Amino acid sequence: MIKFGTIGTSKIVEDFIKATLTSSLVKVSCCYSRDKTKARELINKYSIYATSANKFETLVDEVDAVYIASPNGMHYEQAKYFLLQQKHVLLEKPLTLDYKQAIELSEIANKNKVIFMEAYKTIHLPQFRHLIEFTKSFQPFMVNLNLNKVTSRINNLKNRIIDNIFDYNLGRGSTYDLLVYPVELSVALFGDVEIVKALGQKLDNKSGLNDCVILKHKSGVLVNITCSKVSNGTISNEILSDGITLSFEDVINIKSIKIHKYDNNSVNEIDFQLEENNLVYEIMVFAKMINENDFALRDYLIKISLEALRTLNRVEEDQLNRG
């Protein structure tokens, strides 16, 4: 059984711990927080047999792999430390805030022969294959993706209190916290990005609030993306081809997939069953790569993550250049 250490005490870490409790492949054996009391509270809440830690050295002695869910700006240093210690690393999205840093992490993982994966859960969901199959079968030419979800920190934001996610060095707001989802989905479906056009609305510190992005992939597919952390949206997502369109809700969790055929005006919804906690799927993939030394799959997945991050950096640069 693979022994995991966790870094962070946020809700996503709690969801990760709950997902591991259903697995026969992994277990959480150490929880890290700068405040050791918070780590112990997390352990007690889920009644897991684990060590609490406020030093990385303790994690190194206790675990085979580390799940990192700290603020975005801390990902690089933390992931680098554990990769150099020859630990497998499951790193929350985005990998880092800088493409070159992410490349360096990938190179360290290659050198040390460990698994390094971004915790981008969408690509591991069973229903993702329906999007892949549609793309392969119908060669879509245009896509509309929307992720508009008001932040839980909206009241702080209105009162000019800047939480980690809107701190430029730690989070950078919508551009790296939310936009990563539709951008990475687009890369996973349509390949490398050739052209980026982007506009944004930002805080004075240059962290994103709202993003409007157009991507042209090298495959020729055009993708239009709207993303907001200050308002909730109601528009679904769609992949358009000649005479047929695939629509779906929720660009993160991929719900309510429908096939619209215009020759007979039919609409067919695709049925699928899911685990209640959908983090179980990415954990299964990560564990499989470790157990089978599947470096080919590791490299395939990290290539998608790297291209998504490169695109986010280009989005940010284009937004700042356009003002």
Inside any domain, residue 258: yes
Among 67, 97, 120, residue at a domain's last position: 120
Task: Give the torsion sign (CA, 18, 21, 26, 30).
Answer: positive
Inside any domain, residue 301: no
> From CA 43, how far away is CA 31, in angstroms rounded?
7
Beta strands (DSSP E) in the chain are 2-7, 26-32, 51-53, 65-68, 88-92, 116-119, 142-148, 193-202, 208-217, 222-228, 237-241, 244-249, 255-261, 266-269
Q: How far is CA 177 from the centre of its chain?
A: 8
142/86 same-domain check? no
38/128 same-domain check? no
163/231 same-domain check? yes
Inside any domain, residue 298: no
Among 64, 92, 120, residue at a domain's last position: 120
Predicted confidence at residue 273, as pLDDT, reads: 84
Task: Identify the domain containing residue 254 by its residue range.
Answer: 123-279+307-322
**pLDDT tens digits for the chain (323 residues)?**
999 999 999 999 999 999 999 999 999 999 999 999 999 999 999 999 999 999 999 999 999 999 999 999 999 999 999 999 999 999 999 999 999 999 999 999 999 999 999 999 999 999 999 999 999 999 999 999 999 999 998 999 898 999 999 999 999 999 999 999 999 999 999 999 999 999 999 999 999 999 999 999 999 999 999 999 999 999 999 999 999 999 999 999 999 999 999 988 899 999 888 888 999 999 999 999 999 999 999 999 999 999 999 999 999 999 999 87
Among 76, 96, 120, residue at a domain's last position: 120
Q: Are 16 and 69 in contact (CB under 8 A)?
A: yes
131/116 same-domain check? no
54/97 same-domain check? yes
218/134 same-domain check? yes
Return phi, psi of residue 28, to 5°. Answer: -90, 120
170 SS3 class: coil
Number of C-beta neighbours around residue 162 at 10 A: 18
154/255 same-domain check? yes
Predicted confidence at residue 263, as pLDDT, reads: 87
Inside any domain, residue 290: no
Beta bridge partners of 65: 4, 88
83/48 same-domain check? yes
51/127 same-domain check? no
Residue 200 belongs to domain with CATH number: 3.30.360.10
Structural domains counted in the chain:
2
Predicted confidence at residue 180, as pLDDT, reads: 98
Predicted confidence at residue 177, as pLDDT, reads: 95
Predicted confidence at residue 275, as pLDDT, reads: 82
Residue 13 belongs to domain with CATH number: 3.40.50.720
261/158 same-domain check? yes
Inside any domain, residue 173: yes
Q: Name the residue among 314, 71, 319 with its Cα closest to residue 194.
A: 314
Kindly state the greatest CA–CA separation across the chain.
Answer: 63
